[in-house]
Structure 1
Amino acid sequence: MLATLRRARLAAAVVLPVSLAAQAPTRPMGPPPGAGRRPAAGPDSSTLQSQAIRVFLDCQGRARGCDRAFLTEEINFVNWMRDRFDADVLVLAQALTNGGGGIEYTITFIGRNRFQGMSDTLTLNTLPNDADDRMRRELARVLKLGLTRYVARSPIAARVQVAYAAPANGQRGQSPSAASLRDPWNLWTYSTNFNGNVNAEDRQQRVIGSLSLSANRSTADWKLNFSVSGNINEQKFKIPATTTRPAFTVTNEQRTYNLNSLIVKSLSSHWSAGMKVGAGYSDFLNQDAAIRLQPAIEYNYFPWTEQTRRQLTLLYNVGPNYYDYQRETVFDETSELRYSQQLTASVVSRQQWGTLNMSLDWLNYLHDFNRHALTFTTNADLRLGRGFSLNVNGEAARVRDQIYLPAAGNTEEEILLQRQALQTGFRIRANIGVRYTFGSIYNTIVNQRFSSLGSSGGRFAFFF
């Protein structure tokens, strides 16, 4: 079996579109051997199903096509486990954005118990506008391919058939690879996105609008990202009259515009160099203009070929920052040019025990080291035991870099409406979740009745 299956486009012809399904045994024509004698009792369906391999699926990242209910029904020749500790095969499906704007699934099969030491990795690439149904069907097809070697060593192997769909033109040639395809776009992908939101009542209304344009190109040697975006958030509150004052309206408008570009060159399997350039406007940060130029270098302790499973990176960037302020700042500046440096250490690990993301970021302005910020962020989803999982995410920061704060301070209205950033010495955000599940390890039956009541029909409650 191939260790890696790569597909450049879902729209392109597929060399080995294999379907795999549990089949009933075929009865031969004519009288069976031993006709007239009492046949030996065969195993019933429940016994056969209990002999199927046990599989636990862990979908991580932007796994849009990871529809567990669909996969459970589509791949019915295995027993789907709700806990990894009960599984013979662990399947880790990691989804990352690919160079074309679609999703690349890296699907790792890890054998346990009787399949110890049997591992495989397959990949699947999708297009940016692929429908969810197409994505989940392609994911199911690749999962069937990866599970074949394990099913072949199980008692139900005799009840499984593998089929091959020949190319429509009848030719047996290889399908074109990504490198050999004639691409009129030269690997560039473009994206536009517009969102509008309106909420209105008698005494308040809110209008939000955003527009973004982006152009991206990714190869093994280069990564190019360019984007422009704008956001407008307008709120109006009608305050009724009282005996001491007339009615009035409070208006809050926040605007943000950004222009960003990133150019990265792969130097080796561990080193990368690049340049970040950005320009922006922000009412919240008291900036009519902010222009940044940041050359950067990055080192990954692990080879980038292992990026879907683990990363340990150190990123350093340094360069000038120009600010033009809306109001004079606490340092008596209406505009200024300041150099800054930033060092970020991050850890990303996606293993069978869960996912861990941590980063420690240091930023300071070179003209005054007292103007700095130290930020620690973490996002961990850990499977600590049978049915027991722990999720922790949060951020803690020491803040000393707010050189943009207006000298006049903030009015009560600006504070209540969060119109501008407020002076602070720290930021803390934390969330902790604990989940424990127990009961049947086999019950993966899909029942969508009354699903309109929420949570796939799993909740039925009255609220008073």
Structure 2
Amino acid sequence: MFSKNRINGFGMNFPHFFLIKIFFVFIFVIPPAYGQVVTKNDSIPEVLVQQGELLSVFLDCSRCDNSFIRQEINYVNFARDPQLAQIHLFITDNSTGSGGRLFTLSFIGKKEFEGTENTLSYTSSQLNTQQEERRGLTAMIELGLIPFIAQTSLADYINIEVLNRPVQEVEIEDPWNNWIFEVYGGLSFKEETSQSSLDIRYGIYADYVTEVWRIRLRPYFNYNQRDYVRNEEEIRSVINRDGFQGRVVRSISDHWSLGVFTNININTFENIKFEYRVAPAIEYSLLPYKMALRKEYTIAYSIGYLDRKYIEETIFNKMEESLYNQSLELGVRVLEPWGSVRAGIEASHFLHDLSKYRVSVNGRLSLRVFKGFSVDFSSRYDYVKDQLSLPKVDASLEDVLLQQRQLATTYGISLSLGLSYSFGSVFNNVVNTRL
């Protein structure tokens, strides 16, 4: 038991000025993006609708405005299941260095169009409104459908118009030098007769992305306070999780990248008073990076120096220590019409004692089993043999119940399963946004 005057941790102010000072050594930001596309749709030939000769398309996109696309592209049928479609339109997206989105559109022919494929890309500027983004993406979808429409009777009703206007190069001044910042924060408070809680979190993301460089800087701060009253005695639990994460990565070829990672960590839950780590790293992509939007296979290796100071003496009789560790990580990411797979395995250990190691395996599978039915699996397994920061004194019952301290363990497992099923009309192009 401990009174309200005894607070485990250091409050909110101890590390903050130091981490913020590190972060603001850097001054940069955002390259402007640009581009505008305008689309035009004509009326559907009624005779083709009556004869059922319209193409069937399955739109597979998690970030698209599906209602808008269906409303604008009214000369195809949108199937509710990929097994019923002649074209599987698979759209993925990634963040650009300026805060925009790069959409990759894969048109995959099925049935009589088997073997006909087309891949296009569309970049939406960070400055684009939602209307501009969805119009630009819709225009690119229409362009990608042309090779398929050209093989149908609908081709007789297609008219292609090219807007011919001079292209003028404009030199754009960027006062932020390709950097983009994001500030976040959150606060929650709850109080009852015998207990109360206060949670505060805030931080900054700073990203610099070019064809050659990728830099991310992130100072973060978390403060969790719990107060309890039992038998007229006040008990307070305080946990600080503050730190700084930084990475500088340089692309040296289509397959190789070099980087340096740095971390600063203050975590009272894990008995860490102050910790910093510096680690160079190298990564190899089995596919060229520009081809890795749908399939990505990577191998990454890092070796680093770690310096720690502890709050309480550890089970190894340490109040501070300097360590070296290394890690190897294999990663897989595959996005396909049948579903998606994300998996990785990472092994790390301390160089001074090879018995102090950790192996982590994680994976997620989203699988379309049959028409309208999907199954999602996710799992993570950690084999833990590297808990060097555990306090020497056994955790009290209060520490355990209040989750004040990390406990010894040799493994951790998490599993989850999700199911989904859709049914109804095979083709439904009606858009209705009424309440």
TM-score by length of 2: 0.85
For residues 24 and 136 of structure 1, do their structure 2 counterparts lie closer, same or farther at Cα, with a shift above 3 Å needed? closer
Who is 1:121 aligned against?
119
1: CA distance, partners of 2:68 / 2:229? 49
Identity %: 27
1:430 to 409, 415, 434: 415
Q: Would you say 1:21 and 2:37 are equivalent positions?
A: no
Who is 1:414 aligned against?
399
Q: How far has the Cα of 1:160 moved from its partner?
A: 4.9
Who is 1:210 aligned against?
201
Deviates further, 272-281 or 129-138: 129-138
Who is 1:185 aligned against?
176
2: CA distance, partners of 1:125 / 1:113? 30
2: CA distance, partners of 1:130 / 1:282? 40
1:135-146 matches, cutoff 5 A: 135-146=133-144
Q: How far has the Cα of 1:407 moved from its partner?
A: 1.0
Q: Would you say 1:386 and 2:377 are equivalent positions?
A: no
Question: Alignment RMSD, CA only?
Answer: 2.5
2: CA distance, partners of 1:165 / 1:204? 68
Q: How far has the Cα of 1:78 moved from its partner?
A: 1.5
Q: How many residues align?
A: 405
Alpha-carbon contact 1:275-1:294 (below 8 Å) kept? yes
Deviates further, 327-336 or 121-130: 121-130
Please list the CA deviations of residues 326-383 of structure 1 after superposition, one character each: whole Å capped at 9, or x if unmatched: 1111111111111101000111111222111110110111111111111100011122
Question: Which consecutive unaligned segments of at least 5 residues does structure 1 have?
Answer: 1-7, 26-41, 167-171, 240-245, 451-464
Who is 2:58 aligned against?
56
Q: How far has the Cα of 1:128 moved from its partner?
A: 4.1
2:104 to 83, 103, 106: 106
2: CA distance, partners of 1:146 / 1:250? 64
2:252 to 267, 273, 280: 267
Query: Helix, strand or coil for the counterpart of 2:135?
Result: helix
1:177-326 matches, cutoff 5 A: 181-239=172-230, 246-326=231-311
Q: How far has the Cα of 1:186 moved from its partner?
A: 2.5
Who is 1:84 aligned against?
82
Query: Helix, strand or coil for the counterpart of 1:345?
Result: strand
Alpha-carbon contact 2:32-2:98 (below 8 Å) kept? no
Who is 2:71 aligned against?
73
1: CA distance, partners of 2:199 / 2:183? 17
Please list the CA deviations of residues 295-327 of structure 1 after superposition, one character each: whole Å capped at 9, or x if unmatched: 111111111111201111111101111111111
Q: Which amino acid letter does the alignment assign opposite residue 51 of structure 1? A: E
**Relative contact order higher in (CA < 8 Å, ≥ 6 apart):** 2
Query: Helix, strand or coil for the counterpart of 1:20?
Result: coil
Q: Which amino acid letter does the alignment assign opposite residue 56 of structure 1? A: F
Q: How far has the Cα of 1:162 moved from its partner?
A: 5.1
Q: Would you say 1:343 and 2:328 are equivalent positions?
A: yes
Q: Would you say 1:375 and 2:360 are equivalent positions?
A: yes
2: CA distance, partners of 1:147 / 1:199? 54
1: CA distance, partners of 2:35 / 2:212? 27
2: CA distance, partners of 1:83 / 1:159? 27
For residues 199 and 147 of structure 1, do their structure 2 counterparts lie closer, same or farther at Cα, with a shift above 3 Å needed? farther
